[in-house]
Amino acid sequence: MNEHTEIARAKVNLNLKILGKREDGFHAMETRMAPISLADRLKFTPSDEFTLECKKEGVPLDESNLVTMAVRIFQRETGKACAYRVKLEKLVPHGAGLGGGSGDAAATLRALNHLEGTELAMDVLADWAGEIGSDVPFFVYDSVCDCSGRGEMVDPIEWPHVLDALLLKPSFGVSTPAAYKSWRNSEEIAGVDYATQFMPWGEFFNDLERPVFQKHRFLAEMKMWLLQQDEVAAAMMSGSGSTMIAILHDPQTADNLKQRAMAELDASLWAAAVKIG
């Protein structure tokens, strides 16, 4: 059997509405998520047993890694050995609201389904993925989806658009559980625009901006700065942050905008020009 490489695309939330807290402690929500061109890579090589390798500092290589969790679920449900050396190349930053770890887990399920010849339907893999995390089922489909429940109910949709965007992330991450926990009692910051941005391809808004901006004022400043730039058609935080999405009128302007953001906002910003959809 030959090596197999699986691409794990990251995501952005094009909108995110929180409906309230559920009895199980999670928040009910509705969100439209879209895969982006920024991606991790996983290379599977046949071996005597499953092992995971990653050179990125800070990535756990024990049973807590979502790739390992995906392998264990696949082994349990199918009885397959899943004996591969998996090399994980991380390009998606951690704590960014881009779903890097979740995407890796879903890519692992897809890869094993191919490598082990099980040919399971995507909805079966998505059901298993929900055991790993709320947004992992979305990544199984690798397409634009409307998600509800706590995020695990996934409906792939026709979405014939490709958007150009610049992603900007400061050096700090945001805790997703903390963002949801503080949502109900959070307040808007005067002068910051939280309103829905109506675009030709749909509504662009994020209910988590309110609690996250209240704790991390710099993200609010980043959004307002982006909205004032001529290159930017719309700007918003992705998921629970800390990545900001700037939708561009023209992809050719991404580098100029990046350089200006680093000069005027924060020289240590991580940035990536991406395609959405």
Are 241 and 263 in a shared domain?
A: yes
183 shares a domain with 58: no
Last residue of a domain, one of 135, 156, 177: 156
Question: For position 19, what pLDDT does the model report?
Answer: 87
Same domain, 97 and 221: no
10-residue mean pLDDT series, the chain (277 residues): 91 93 80 97 97 93 96 98 97 89 97 97 96 94 92 91 97 90 93 97 96 97 98 96 96 98 97 97
Domain co-membership, 100 together with 24: yes
pLDDT score at 1: 60
The reply to whether 118 and 42 lie within a common domain is: yes
Q: Is the pTM of this model over 0.85?
A: yes
What is the structure's pLDDT at 219? 97
Contact 235, 245 (CB under 8 A): yes
On whether both 169 and 150 belong to a single domain, the answer is no
Tokens standing for residue 71: 């392998």
CATH at residue 208: 3.30.70.890
Active site residues: 11, 135
> Of 106, 126, 156, which marks where a domain is finished?
156
The number of distinct structural domains making up the chain is 2
Pair 197, 271 in one domain: yes
* Statement to judge: residues 207 and 145 lie in one domain: no
Domain that holds residue 109: 4-156
My answer on whether 63 and 176 are in the same domain is: no
Residues 132 and 78 in one domain: yes
Is the same domain home to 143 and 19?
yes
What is the per-residue pLDDT for 260?
98
Measured from the Cβ of residue 50, the count of other Cβ atoms closer than 10 Å reads 19
Do residues 88 and 173 share a domain?
no
Domain end point (choices 128, 156, 184): 156
Q: What's the CATH number where 137 sits?
A: 3.30.230.10
